Amino acid sequence: MDPDRTVARRRSSLLLLRLLLVALLWSGLALGTFSLGSSPHRVLHDLLSEEQLLKVEDLSLALLQGGSMGPLSLPPDLPDLDPECRELLLDFANSSAELTGCLVRGARPVRLCQTCYPLFQQVASKMDNISRAVGNSSESHSCARSLLMADRMQIVVILSEFFNSTWQKANCANCLTNKSEELSNSTVYFLNLFNHTLTCFENNLQGSAHSLLQLRNYSEVCKNCHDAYKTLSSLYSEMQKMNELENKAESGTHLCIDVEDAMNITRKLWSRTFNCSVPCSDTVPVIAVSVFILFLPVVFYLSSFLHSEQKKRKLILPKRLKSSTSFANIQENSH
């Protein structure tokens, strides 16, 4: 340590000690607890208890020694972040704030994957910069330790795990390309059909009011938007089948939350709000198949009953013939 700096610290420590003693003496005089002729040590004993006096003496010794000895001394260098580490932390903080705002704004209706994937990639990149400890220098490794493992809370790690967990629960990877750089073609096509269907709903609403809850006549919506709704529903079913084929090993896989929420909104509007029924052309085959299945047991038992009656007749007929033949032979013999 620099000798001049040590001398300066000791002088400042002496000055602080003198100021402390002057304050104690002045307070004692003001309160009248001792006279002007009392000794300084007697003054301190009058003002402080024995335990407090010991603490003052320990503090005085620590200040006189320049903070190099004793449990009350401060460390020579306070734990502070290097400029490189602080820059990494600020980058992660800014990216996390932007991603958090995007997730909250896209909560309802759900637009997480399609609007927030660039920010998620940015946060993941910032976290990689911290966890990889950019470079091979010891300073870089100290950044990783300081930001990720220096305390019990580990705020940076908690935030990173929260973003990753949210992204996985939303299954946003299903909406993106393999490298997660942009939306997949099927997702873009589905979202375009979804917007086209909603536009059809809006254009065919009858009445002057814009609120869906105030409208009651939706016959034009059901009639003119049937093809758009059927196309969107068929595409959603195909995407589900493709997803199940691609993820056979994983049970309970879902499409990304944006696609699922869009289809749920469309189905609720179609069935509950607009109360559009399924056309007869779609129900006739279903009814025919259902009736056929219901009659199968009747046909089975009826055929079984007829078949068993025919067997009984075949078995009885030879016995009668045999008995009549034997009776004829007996009569011939008697004659």
Mean pLDDT is highest, among 14-23, 30-39, 231-240, for 231-240
Q: What angle do CA 23, 27, 30 make, to 5 degrees?
A: 140
The pLDDT of residue 329: 58
Same-domain status, 224 and 164: no
- How far is the C-alpha of 333 from the C-alpha of 335, rounded, in Å? 5
Report how far apart, in Å, the C-alpha atoms of 32 and of each of 154, 172, 244 are.
54, 77, 90
Q: Which residue range(s) make up the domain with 134?
A: 83-170
Residues 6+ apart with CB under 8 A from 148: 130, 131, 154, 156, 157
The pLDDT of residue 84: 87
Structure tokens at 296: 């199968």
Structure tokens at 192: 């375009």
Same-domain status, 163 and 198: no
* CB hemisphere CA count around 149 (13 angstroms): 8
Q: Which of 170, 194, 229 is the last residue of a domain?
A: 170
The pLDDT of residue 67: 47
Range of lowest pLDDT (54-63, 99-108, 184-193, 261-270): 54-63
Whether residue 36 is predicted with pLDDT greater than 80 in this model: the reply is: no
Residue 283's pLDDT band (cuts 50, 70, 90): low
Backbone phi, then psi, for 179, in 5-degree steps? -90, 0
Whether residue 88 is predicted with pLDDT greater than 70 in this model: the reply is: yes
Structure tokens at 268: 């609720």
Mean pLDDT of 64-93: 67
**31 or 178: whose pLDDT is higher?**
178
Closest to 159 measured CA to CA, from 132, 120, 129: 120
For residues 29, 32, 33, 39, the Cα torsion angle rounded to the nearest 10 degrees is 40
The 10s digit of each residue's pLDDT in 138-148 is 544 678 888 88
**Mean residue pLDDT across the chain:** 75
The reply to whether the predicted model has a pTM over 0.85 is no
Same-domain status, 199 and 163: no
**270 or 16: whose pLDDT is higher?**
270
Structure tokens at 262: 């869009």
CB of 119 closer than 8 Å to CB of 102: yes
Residue 166 included in any domain? yes
- How far is the C-alpha of 83 from the C-alpha of 86, rounded, in Å? 5
Mean pLDDT of 145-161: 90
Closest to 279 measured CA to CA, from 229, 232, 326: 229
CB of 89 closer than 8 Å to CB of 156: yes
Same-domain status, 156 and 87: yes
**82 or 136: whose pLDDT is higher?**
82
Q: Which of 140, 170, 200 is the last residue of a domain?
A: 170
**153 or 78: whose pLDDT is higher?**
153
Q: What angle do CA 204, 210, 215 make, to 5 degrees?
A: 70
The pLDDT of residue 108: 93
- How far is the C-alpha of 116 from the C-alpha of 101, rounded, in Å? 9
Same-domain status, 107 and 153: yes
Mean pLDDT of 61-66: 50
Same-domain status, 147 and 224: no
CB atoms within 10 A of CB 202: 12
- How far is the C-alpha of 1 from the C-alpha of 60, rounded, in Å? 21
**Number of domains, the chain:** 2
Residue 4 included in any domain? no
Same-domain status, 195 and 268: yes
Residue 104 included in any domain? yes
Closest to 183 measured CA to CA, from 195, 170, 172: 172
Residue 89 included in any domain? yes
Percent of the chain exceeding pLDDT 90 equals 39
CB atoms within 10 A of CB 126: 21
Whether residue 321 is predicted with pLDDT greater than 90 in this model: the reply is: no
**136 or 153: whose pLDDT is higher?**
153
Same-domain status, 199 and 238: yes
Residue 156 included in any domain? yes
Q: Which of 273, 299, 317 is the last residue of a domain?
A: 273
Residue 139 included in any domain? yes
Same-domain status, 149 and 198: no
Same-domain status, 148 and 198: no
Whether residue 257 is predicted with pLDDT greater than 90 in this model: the reply is: yes
Mean pLDDT of 96-121: 95
- Dihedral sign from CA coordinates of 118, 119, 124, 125: positive
Residue 74's pLDDT band (cuts 50, 70, 90): very low
Mean pLDDT of 303-311: 70
Same-domain status, 149 and 202: no
The pLDDT of residue 53: 54
Structure tokens at 233: 């529903």
Whether residue 68 is predicted with pLDDT greater than 60 in this model: the reply is: no
Residue 162 included in any domain? yes
Report how far apart, in Å, the C-alpha atoms of 307 and of each of 118, 301, 302, 310, 320 are.
72, 10, 9, 5, 21
Percent of the chain exceeding pLDDT 70 equals 59
Residue 191's pLDDT band (cuts 50, 70, 90): very high
Residue 326 included in any domain? no
In sequence order, which ranges of the chain are alpha helices (DSSP H)? 3-31, 40-47, 50-64, 83-105, 112-131, 138-148, 155-169, 185-203, 219-224, 226-246, 257-268, 280-334
Range of lowest pLDDT (6-20, 149-163, 238-252, 270-284): 6-20
Mutual angle of helices 112-131 and 155-169, in 10-degree steps = 150
Mean pLDDT of 105-110: 95
